[in-house]
Each structure stands twice: as structure tokens, then as C-alpha cells.
A and B are shown apart, each in its own frame.
Chain A
Amino acid sequence: MNQQNPAISKGIDWSLVGIYFLLVAVGLAAIFAATYKEGDAIFQSFIGFKTDYSKQFYFFIMGAVLAFFILLTDSKFFSATANLWYAVGILLLLLVFPFHSRVKGTESIIRFGAFNFQPAEFCKIFVSLALAKYLSRPETDFSKIRSQLIATAIALLPAALTILQSETGLALVYFSFFLVMYREGLPSIILLIGFAVAALIVATIIIEPNTLAFILTGIAIFFAYIFRRQIKRNKAILIRIVFLWFVCVGIQRFAVPYIFQNILQKHQIERIYDLFGKENPYLEKDETLSSAEAKKKKESGSSYNVRQSKIAIGSGRILGKGILKATQTRYDFVPEQRTDFIFCTVGEGFGFVGSIILLGLYLILLFRIVTIAERQRSVFSRCYAYGVAGVFFFHIAINIGMTVGLAPVIGIPLPFISYGGTSLLTFTIMLFILIRLDADRQMVLR
């Protein structure tokens, strides 16, 4: 049990460490490309802690030091203190309410001297640990509804607090912990239904109503055709299909429009459509804004961001323009260039080929984490690994998805690449705890 490690390097998965350094390097280069202005003295500004890339560089060093200490820590420490950390996390989230920064749009941030500190980011680590701790308890029987509800509560309590800080995007990240629960035996039907309803509502927003009704009918007929043998024997299946079709079309044609027209406020509807970069179709004709106003609105809303982001990425074409020649991203056409829309810099500077290489790197990272998860003897380590995989996946898919116009613009960072100290440190800590746990994979942690 009390294993003596002659060297901390023993058992460490170097492939993860390698990918980590690669991604951070890409991130530094991208932030440099997005914010460098001609004539800056490169070396000086890298050292000076004045520019964004310099700050990110120092955050990286800070992260590396932290990672080193994590690797020195006994892996039992994490499982033993998981609940304590969770409590600290919730406390921090609560502290935001009295102590948050008064600047609009940053209500989730605590100012700590020169540093801004966003508990909602850090809390992901604590939830991963606490959830893993709960699921790995010998007395937890995850096939019981009660356990499933408790696990859900552990995952979603921080989400609820985060929503109160108007950081919807960060809150949605906590839904990625359903991946852990799914792996640990949460019935697929729950995920499936949840996913289907979410998909249907999104589809209602982005696809023209008649087209969507047509598509849904097509799917229903397709399933009826596949199950035609069973239907011959059992008419109930047909009835179920028709019933499902009816519910889907009902939601799409009547429920969603009803909610939009009668329950939601105008600005809320607008915000939802904005997330998808669409015009609000529920505006009545005479309310439409004068063209100048509308233009102004357009340029500030996220539909503008997405349009500019798509132009930036598309203009990179196959091989890209080269890192400092990317006009779109270098001259601030894409807002939030350094943070949420950092992928544009890669897309414009390195084109399709560069984007695919970055995506490949992420995919290798995710698959590697899953592989590592499956080789753990300890349930705690496995659950934690899946928690990391889920959070990373959610961030990567949604962030890149929103820059290419596939996902709503909810403003979450791209792991290891987006500018921002809190997010870089959070992802670094998450990854290195995993590496530490994996190094002790033969141990059974409780």
C-alpha cells in the first residue's frame, strides 16, 4: 500500500504529456498570431507580461510547476480529499455572489489582487473528483434510481450556481458528466431521450418548420419500413412509431412556437436565436428595426461573430495564409479572437490541413484518455478519467463547433489553446491528476 516511488517518472503516460506540450505550444503561437502587432519587440514582449501571449506564457510556466507538484503528490491524496475539494468548490462559487467583480459580463469572476479568478472553471476539477469518489464508494449501487439522482445532483449543483452567475456556457459543461454516469451504467434510454429532445428543439430553431416536418415524417416512414416484419406480427410497434412521430411534430410545430410566442420574453427569444446565428423569425414585420439599427445590432450580436469567424476560417482554404498573414484574425474582425474564437486563427493561418492536424491531436488525446480509463483497476481513477474525457470533449466539440457554425455560441474556451489563465490552469491540473492517478493504476483507490 504505502508504495515508495524511487522516481516520480515511474508509470507516467508520456504520450499525454507530449500532447499537452504540443497543444500549449499551438495555443501560444495562435495567441501570438492573433494579438501581435507589427513592430513589437518579440522577445521583450514575451518576457514583459504586458501582452496576452506573454501572460499566457507565464500561465503555462505556472501550470507546469503545478503539474510537477501534482506528480509528486501521493495519488491517494486525491481520492481522500475529493469531497473536501468539492465543498471548497461550492464555497468558492457561493463567495462569488458577494465578492464578484462589478464589471458587466464578468459577474462570475473574483478579483484577487492583479488576478482574476473564475471559480466556475476550477469547479470542474472538484466535481470530477467528487463524482468519481461517490461512484467508487463500495456502498453505491448505481443501478438504483436514488444513486443516479445523487450523482446527478453532485454534477449539476455547481451548474445551477454557475447559471445564477449568468455563465450559461460554463454551466452546460457540467452536463458532460453524464458521460461518466453512462459509462457506470446509467440506462442509455435516459441519455437517448434527453439527447433526442435537445436535438429536436435545436432542429426546430435552425431548420425551416415545413422542411423539418418533412424530415421527421421521412424518418418515421424509414423506421416503419425497417420494422415492417415485426409490425406484421405486432401492430403495437406501428402505433408507437406513429405516436412518436406525432409527439415530435407536435413539439416542433406547436409546442416550441407556443413557448416562444407566449412564454418567453422577446429579448430571450432573440438571445436564443443569436446563439445559433439566426434572425429571430418571431419578430413582427412592423417591429423590424430600421436598417441602420438592425445593422448595428447585427454587428454586435453573435451572429456577426459566427459570420466573421466562418469567413476567417474559410478564407484559410486548404493550406492557410501563414500565421502572420491572416488578415481576418489579425485585425480583430473576429471578436473574442484570443479566447473563445482562437480556432479561427488556426483555420485562417493553417487552412484545412492545419485544422485537421489540430483536430487529430485532440482526437488522439480523447482516445488516449478513454484507453487509460479502461486500464484502471480502481473505479475512482476510471470515473475520474471519464470525467476528464467528457469535459475535454464537450469543450473541444462545442468550441470548434461554434466557430464553424455548428454549435451555439456559448463562450467556452478551447482546452490548452484559448487565452486565459484560469482555463489553462484548470485543464492542466485535470490532466495531470489523471496522469498521476494513471501512474498508480495498479492501486485500488477508494
Chain B
Amino acid sequence: MSVFNQSRSRIIRVIFLVAFIFITAQLFYLQVIEGKFRQLAAMDNAVFAKVDYPERGIIFDRNGKAILNNTIIYDLMVTPSEIKGIDTLDFCHLLGIDIEEFKQRVLDAKFKNSAVRPSVFKGLLTQDIQARFEENSWKYPGFNLVERPLRTYPYNAAAHILGYIREADPRDIERSGNFYRQGDYIGKTGLEAYYEDVLMGERGVQYMIKDNKNRLVGHYENGAFDTASIAGRGLKTYIDIELQQLAEKLMANKVGGLVAIDPKTGGILAMVSGPNYDPNDLTGPDGSKNYGKLVLDVTGPMLNRAIGGRYEPGSTFKPLGALVALDEGVITPSYGFPCFGRYTLCGHGKPACTHAGGGHAANVRLSIANSCNAYYAHVYRLAVDNPKYGNVKLGYLKWKEYMNAFGLGVRLGVDLPSESRGNIPDTSVYNKENNNHWTSCTNLTLGIGQDKMLTTPLQMANAMCIIANKGYYYTPHFVDKIDGETDDDSTLMNQFRVRHDVLTHIADTSFNAVIEGMNDVVKFGTARVAQIPGIDVCAKTGTAENYTILDGRRIKLPNNSMFVCFAPKENPKIAIAVFVQNAGYGATWAGPISRLMIEKYLNDTLMKKSEADLDRISKANLMPAYFKRLQYKEDSIRAFKWFKTTKDSAYIKKYLSNTLNPVRSKSGNNSFPIKKEKELVALLPGEKYFLKNLYPFYI
């Protein structure tokens, strides 16, 4: 009986075998054919490359004070699954949030990072909250503080020089060839950007094993592939932080730029751009909010006008004009020009001159001391019409070459990003404008620093260095030494250590004539305000007219106040250029500012008179009124665009009433006309007025 189905035992074995063959085939497919792919998937699953961020380098001033340092701020982290039995009300009170907010944040944390992993509950705690939390932390299981390094500016100063770091944007990431990743910090402006490679140090990587909930549980292969991070290296700069702070105080509520350079090294002692901002505003809890505010401010507080602002140098250019003509041999130091109040040789009687007669331009020295416009217009013409070059175009090219040698019209190569080259136009510009026929009369105001000539405060300060040094300069720069300088660093730094003997071919007698003239400006001329007992200051004032176009009209703005100088006359130690926009005469604002700087730097103290000046200047608000109008326009246009794209009228509302419409001051200089101002309620893009009685149509 038992044998009669015996053949079936064979079939049963076959069934077993077939099932095992199927499984083997699948194993072969998974492990042998697809194995590599699955190995990668497993790696991705289980190994996490944790980047170990080094501390960024510290920046020191010339006296070794840290002016850009690192500090630690705390993020409050939450691990939702560990929150147990906490007094929520108490906790919310501590953080200053309500219970709804608390619940929402815990929910967000769960959603973003799961309940078992920590996520940020509140980033960048203020010190007050952090201290209170630390005292009571035992009451709140599931919450803990995590250190987060932060940049700090201990002197609240030098925002434009030092720059700031922010999270790398997609463009930075692409440019770096994916070296930076989402969430990495990168220097965006200033020294932070220029010396990014030095300051950032070297990132380390730790390969961590993670489990199924993405918790890190240990080092992969016991850390065999891990690399340690190397801290960023420090920078020693030429900045004198006290001088810098003084300069910032002086430039408060002014638009313009200030640069002070040590002519012997090219090291920049102080640099201010107005309006300024507190660099610490961009770090810490309110960083993003403040950043947004600064970016939208039409006065451009983020702009570095000391290297990016382009200004007509006006009379401050005259010493350079004299030197060119002297070197070209078209005049001698004793060359005089009969000026009777205006320049008549081009037929239109321009430019006019503040002095008339009395031999105020009887030689180079006097012409500088009295700042004779006619003299310098003529000297310019002599230089470009030099018979040596045959025609005005070739003469002009030679003159332009001089300008470039003085550092005008070219980028100097300061160690900050986005430097402007100013403007010294090429002959082609005049050819085009004048149909190829032009003479030295066409652009004779170049001789007095006008026409199309534009310079930056840095360029003018550097030009002062060249005069002070009698022909040479070092590229202006901030960084003196890099900690632990490598060969790569040396290549970077060598460009700042080369002496540029650009104009040493100019005779000492020529330099002396100009320097004496500039000394006379301080002794008897327009810069008497810069006199300092015991210090021989050489200076030149400048005042340039300027206009802006607002609401479709050309508006004359108050003059720009300019001042360039160096001191002492023998063995100069500091060269300064100050440009204050729309402030008035050079001697009124820029002059005293420069004097205070020299005093502070050379004497380390201020005279009694200077203390009073400091008080007066630092309190003066010279922000041009038209900015208000500009801001209003920008804001309303943005609000309108926002309304158009989102149909959210929250922002545009306030522009639809008259009450908030900021209106010009009627007093003298700052006035500008608006027609039918009552009807204007908001502005559309393209500067078309949006009439009040139309707005219900839009809302």
C-alpha cells in the first residue's frame, strides 16, 4: 500500500528543487547582476558625509585688536518624541510665543525631521532667552541648545571693509564647481569675500553611519576615511580701528566716501562709505530681516562708495593737471597765466574763476593755492595740444596715459571686490560725439576735473600717495599679513608688495612746486580749516556741481564737498580723500573731516576745537532730501507689483492715501517740484502717475 504512490516522492523533490532554483536565480540577479547598484543604494542609505566646518579666520587691526571675530550663539533644538510633561505655558512664556505657535513649531519639526531627530525649534536665541533657558533647561526634556558659530564685529565698525558671510546661493555653488553646498556660508563682500579661501580654512568630512531613522550611530569604518577640519587663518590688516570708528562717526548721516592710506606701504588705514550700517545687524537673530531692509534702502547703505562711488574730482584734480604739464615740459614751475575771472581763449568765457586778477595764477604754486580754473583749463590745453604729438587726439592719448599712471580710469586692484574704475574717456568717445572733429576746447573742463572725468575716493587718495611719494605708490590694500603665509598666499600678496614707480620720472622740482602749492592751500588758501599746529598739511579742496533726474526733471542738487590731502609735508604718513555728496563747499565738511582724521592718526588726540567740530559734524544730517522721494517711488512701485502678482493689497494701501505721501522740503537747496501733488497717490512702473480717482478700479 505504501509503495503505490512512490513515484510521487520524485515529483515532490522536483517541486522543492524548482522553488530553490527560482530563489537562486533571483539571488543571482540581485547580488551578482544588480549588486553594484544595490551596494550604492545601501551606501546612500547608511553612510552620511557629515561636513565638519572649521572656524573662520579672525581679522585684526594694525594694533592686533580683533575687529572681526567668531562668537557662539545657540539654536534651541527640539526632539518631539522626547517632550514629556513640560509646563508648556511656562515654556512659551520663556520664549515669548503663544501655545498655538508652540504646537505649530513642534508639528513642523515632526514633519520636517521626524519625531526622533532633533530639529531647530528657534534659531539664534538672544542672550537673554538663552540664559533663562539654560537655568531652567532641566524642566524641559526634549529641548536642548546647540552651538552655532557666528561672525561678530566687536567694534560695530568697518562694515564695508570686512563684508559679511551668507549662505551660498546657487550661483556661488555653480561657480565653485559644487565645492560649496546648499547651506554653506560664503564671504559675500569685503575682505570676507576677497580672502574667502584663507578665512574659510579647510572643511573636514566625517563619514557617519546612520540608522533607519537617520540618526548618526558611529563612524564608518572607524573613521578611516574621515578628514579633520583646519581652522581658517587670521588676517592682520593696516586698519586702525579707532581711526576707522572716528571716520565712521564723522561720516554718519552723509552720503559719500572716505579713504585714508599710509603712502609708504599703500596700507589702507580707514575707509568709510556713507550711509553706513552696523555689521552686527546682519548676524544674529534679526540678520535676514535687517538684510532685506538694507537691500531695499535707496540710499544704498550696502554700496561701498569709497571704491564704487564715481565722482567728478573737480578742483582736487588740479595738482595732477599741473604735474602732467610740468612733466610734459609745456610749462615750468614759474609759468603764469593772466586770469581775469574767466577763461576766454576758447571763446565762450568758460570756465569761470573765483578769483580775478592780482596775479593769483602767477606760477604753479600760486595757481594751486588759489585754485585758478582758467589756469588749469589752459594747462590742460597746453598738455594735449603739445606740438610733440602732432594733433590733439594723440596729445589726449598721452594725457590719458598720465591719468592711468595716476590710477585714474583704471582699477587699482584693492583687495575688495567690485571696485569701480571711474572714468577717463577714450578719444573714441569724443570722436563719436563730435563727428571726429574736436579740439582741446571741446573738453577743456577735464583740466579742472569735470567733463566726463569720474574718480572714486580710493583713486584720489591713491593719487595723493603718488604726490606725497613723489612718483610711486603701492597698490592700496588692507591686509598686511596672512597668518602662516603659504606660497599661494604669497602670490596673492605680492601684488601689494610691489612698488609701482609709475611717475618717478617727474622731476622733484615739479613735485616740490605742487606740494608747496598744496601746502599753501592749507596755509593761506581754501583749506585753512585743515591747519593743525605742528603738522604741515598739504591739501586741495574741491566743489563739484551735480544734478539728478527725478520725476522726469533735471534737478540741481547741492554741491559735492571734496577734500584731498596728505600730511606731514616732509615724510608723509597719511593721505586722505573725502567726498561728501550734496554737502556744499569742500572746506565746509570734507576739510574738517580730513583734519580730524590726520590729528587722530598723527597726534592720537583731538584739539579742543576739533572736539567741537567732531560734535558738529557727527550730528549733521546731510542726507539729500530727494532720497525720501526716491524711496517712496521705489516702495510704491514694489507694492504695486506685489499687488498685481498676488492681489494682496496689504502693501499698496498706504500709498493710496495722501497722508503718508512724503513731500519735499520747500527750503532752498533740496527742493524739487512735483506738479499737482494732491492727485498723485501712487506711482506705476514707468513713472506714470496713478490718479487717485482711478484706484477703485484696481482694487
Q: Which residues of A contact B (CB under 8 A)?
A: 38, 179, 182-185, 292, 308, 310-318, 327-328, 331-333, 335, 347-348, 351-352, 355-356, 359, 362-363, 366-367, 370, 373-374, 376-377, 379, 382, 386, 389, 393, 397, 400-401, 404-406
Contacts and interface: CB of A to CB of B under 8 A. Distances in A.
Contact of B19 (A317, A318, A397): A397
B217 interface: yes
B46 interface: yes
30 contacts: A183-B5, A183-B8, A185-B4, A185-B5, A310-B38, A313-B27, A313-B30, A314-B30, A314-B31, A314-B34, A314-B38, A314-B39, A316-B31, A316-B35, A327-B220, A332-B213, A333-B212, A335-B212, A348-B42, A352-B32, A352-B35, A356-B27, A363-B20, A376-B2, A379-B2, A393-B15, A401-B22, A404-B30, A406-B23, A406-B26
Given A328-B45, A363-B17, A292 B111 contact: yes
B1 interface: yes
A380 B45 CA distance: 52
Contact of B211 (A333, A347, A379): A333
B218 to A, nearest CB: 6
Given A38-B218, A184-B5, A347-B27, 14 more contacts: A292-B111, A310-B38, A314-B34, A315-B35, A327-B43, A327-B46, A328-B42, A328-B45, A331-B212, A352-B27, A352-B28, A386-B12, A401-B22, A406-B22
B16 interface: yes
Nearest to A390: B12
A327 B27 contact: no
B389 interface: no
Contacts of B1: 379
B695 interface: no
A248 B247 CA distance: 92
A402 B13 CA distance: 22
A404 B27 contact: yes
Contacts of A401: 19, 22-23
B46 A331 contact: yes
Contacts of A314: 30-31, 34-35, 37-39, 41-42
Contacts of B466: none
B229 to A, nearest CB: 24
Nearest to A304: B212
Contacts of A183: 5, 8-9, 12
Nearest to B41: A311
A310 B30 contact: yes
Contacts of B528: none
Contact of B9 (A331, A374, A393, A404): A374
A317 B23 contact: no
Q: Which of B1, B23, B213 has the most CB of A within 10 A?
A: B23
A332 B211 contact: yes
A386 B111 CA distance: 53
B355 interface: no
B211 A331 contact: yes
A317 B39 contact: yes
Contacts of A292: 111
A404 B32 CA distance: 13
Nearest to B42: A315
A347 B12 contact: no
A327 B47 contact: yes
Contacts of B30: 310, 313-314, 347, 404
Contacts of B37: 314
Nearest to B17: A363
Given A183-B9, A331-B211, A367-B16, A400 B38 contact: no
B6 interface: yes
B249 interface: no
Nearest to B38: A314
A315 B39 CA distance: 4
Interface in B29-82: 30-32, 34-39, 41-43, 45-47
A374 B6 contact: yes
A363 B16 contact: yes
Contacts of B211: 331-333
Contact of A318 (B2, B16, B35, B46): B35
Contacts of B209: 327, 331
A187 to B, nearest CB: 11
Contacts of A185: 4-5
Given A183-B5, A367-B16, A382-B2, A318 B23 contact: no
A186 to B, nearest CB: 9
A363 B15 CA distance: 11
B88 interface: no
A315 B38 contact: yes
B212 A332 contact: yes
Nearest to A320: B31
Contacts of A400: 23
B638 interface: no
Contacts of A382: 2
Given A317-B32, A373-B9, A355 B39 contact: no
